[in-house]
Chains A and B, each alone.
Chain A
Amino acid sequence: MAGNNPSPTEYIQHHLQNLTFGYHPENGWSMAHSAAEAQEMGFWALHLDTMGWSIAMGVLFIWLFRKAGKVATTGVPGTLQNVVEMIFEFVENTVHGAFHGRNPVIAPLALTLFVWIFLMNLLKLIPVDYVPEIFVRLGIDYMKMVPTTDPNATLGMAIGVFLLIIYYSLKVKGVGGFAKELSLTPFNHWSLIPFNLIMEVIGLLVKPLSLGLRLFGNMFAGEVIFILIALLPFWVMWTLNVPWAIFHILVITLQAFIFTVLSVVYLSQAHEHH
């Protein structure tokens, strides 16, 4: 806990505040020193902790898999290679089952999403006070470590997937085909075009939104519970913390998997003609 025994509310709010750098109407480009300041920055702000940790995890993923890929032999694999290959095959099989088409981008995309999100989620199993405390000692006030508890991160990835959905829809079906799909399904009659259009556009926009918010919601809720448990006296903490953490080993894997599979399914739909 930072400083002089904050109240539970302050403690929780402190833990849920990102390290923000942005354009403040009064101070110009600067670090936010409080939640209020961060709020005032509006859109022109960057969560340094979210970006930093997510990029670190992404680099870790690339480094690990690149390393395994470089030493990948066709002979007897080592431990790292074994693990990497297991994940690889798991993702490949999943993509094979969910995606009916030929596209060299989808499988690597799924692998990146799965491992990256898993690693980001994994940061949650580090006790909630460790890392923020270290950063407070270093003079950095805020550190919200798990990127997937930041809606910006999850929605950012969902937007990436969304752009790909739009891109492949246009590429596979053509502009006319895509427009026809949006306006003439589910009811193939000219008088129902506006109705269809509203339905389909909402359906399309809901995809990235649900994708990002599902991951965010699960991770954020879990994080809040961890923080609440951290408010208990230290000698009872483990009775709740340990089961919750064990349960979360399942949740973080499952959420990474769900995000990945849904992305693949959405992209598969984008490739299908109606």
Chain B
Amino acid sequence: MNINMTLIGQTIAFAIFVWFCIKFVWPPISNALHERQRKIADGLDAASRASRDLELAQEKADATLRESKEQASQILEQANKRSSQMIEEAREQARAEGERIVASARAEIDQEVQRAKDDLRAQVSHLAVTGAERVLEASVDEKAHRKLLDELAAEL
């Protein structure tokens, strides 16, 4: 347990080891560690940024979906309205057409009736003339009595 030169030798060895550690051991490990720390921090940062991006994208997609749904329902509504309008129009048209057909048919019928009446009147007047001729046994100057006959026919 003597105190001797070993004391000095140990101090020198200590100094050398410390120097070596400062020079060659500490820097590479320290650098690698801090570099890794930075990398991990960057990675975490990127991950959080990506998740934020994802959130944004999701929000955007939701908004677009909502909008398109709205649009679709709007279009559907419009189409419905339009179709009911068209049906209404068609109905209206059909009704008008029907009325028109009925009116023209009525007009034709009237015309027909008129013509039949005229015919009938002419025949009746003719028959009357003939009857009168027969009764009178004399020929009636058709030309002379034309006016009278026409008046008669008009009265029928």
**Chain A proximity of B33: nearest CB distance (Å):** 6
Closest beta carbon of chain A to B110's beta carbon, Å = 107
* Contact call A156/B4, Cβ cutoff below 8 A: no
**B18 part of interface (Cβ distance < 8 Å):** yes
Is B15 at the interface (CB under 8 A from chain A)?
A: yes
Q: Which residue of A lies closest to B29 (CB)?
A: A69
Task: From A38, A44, A66, A157, give the contact of B10 (CB < 8 A).
Answer: A157
Q: How far is the CB of A63 from chain B (nearest CB, A)?
A: 10
A38's closest neighbor in chain B, by CB?
A: B2
Chain B positions 1 through 40: 1 when the CB is less than 8 Å from some CB of chain A, otherwise 0: 1111111111101111110111011111111110110010
In the complex, which residues of chain A have a beta carbon less than 8 angstroms from the beta carbon of B30? 88, 92
Q: Would you give the shortest CB distance from B36 to chain A, in whole angstroms?
A: 4
Shortest C-beta distance, B25 to chain A (Å), equals 5
A39-B2, A44-B5, A85-B33 known; A54-B25 Cβ under 8 A:
no
CA distance A156 to B4 in the complex (A): 10
Given the contacts A43-B3, A116-B17, A156 and B8 also touching, CB distance less than 8 Å: yes
A-side interface size class: 35 or more
Could you say which of B9, B22, B25, B33 has the most chain A C-beta atoms within 10 Å of its C-beta?
Answer: B25
How many A-B pairs have beta carbons closer than 8 Å: the answer is 135
Nearest A residue (CB) for B9: A51
Interface size bracket, B side: 20 to 34
Assess the A65–B17 pair: CB atoms within 8 A. no
Nearest opposing residue in chain A for B17, CB measure: A58
Report yes or no: A155 in contact with B29, Cβ–Cβ below 8 A.
no
**Interface window among A103-111, A123-131, A181-189, A238-246:** A103-111
Once the chains bind, are A153 and B6 in contact (CB under 8 Å)? yes
Residues in B with CB closer than 8 Å to A151 are: 1, 3
* Interchain CB contact under 8 A, B17 and A46: no
A contacts with B: majority SS: helix
B17 x A45 contact (CB < 8 A): no
CB of A46 within 8 A of CB of B9, answer yes
Cβ of A101 within 8 Å of any chain B Cβ, yes or no, is no
CA distance A54 to B17 in the complex (A): 11
A163: chain B residues at CB < 8 Å are 11
Would you call A160 and B29 a contact (CB within 8 A)?
no
Q: Is A102 located at the chain interface by the 8 A CB criterion?
A: no
**Given A54-B13, A69-B25, A74-B39: A160 and B18 within 8 A (CB)?**
yes
- Cβ of A163 to closest chain B Cβ, rounded Å: 8
Contact B25 A108 (CB under 8 A): yes
Q: Which of A66, A69, A75, A156 contacts B9 (CB 8 A)?
A: A156
Task: Report the separation of the CA atoms of residues A39 and B11 in the bound assembly, to the nearest whole angstrom.
Answer: 22
Our pick among B10, B13, B26, B31 for the contact of A111 (Cβ within 8 Å) is B26
- Whether A85 touches B20, Cβ cut-off 8 Å, given contacts A150-B6, A157-B11, is no
CB–CB B33/A46 < 8 A: no
Q: Which residues of the other chain, B, contact A159 by a CB distance below 8 angstroms?
A: 7, 11
- Least Cβ–Cβ distance between B150 and chain A, in angstroms: 127
A112 touches B32 (CB 8 A): no
Are A51 and B39 in contact, CB atoms less than 8 angstroms apart?
no
Tell me the chain A residues, 117-167 only, with Cβ under 8 Å from chain B: 147, 150-153, 155-157, 159-160, 163
Question: Please, which residues of chain A bring their CB within 8 A of the CB of B10?
Answer: 50-51, 54, 147, 152-153, 155-157
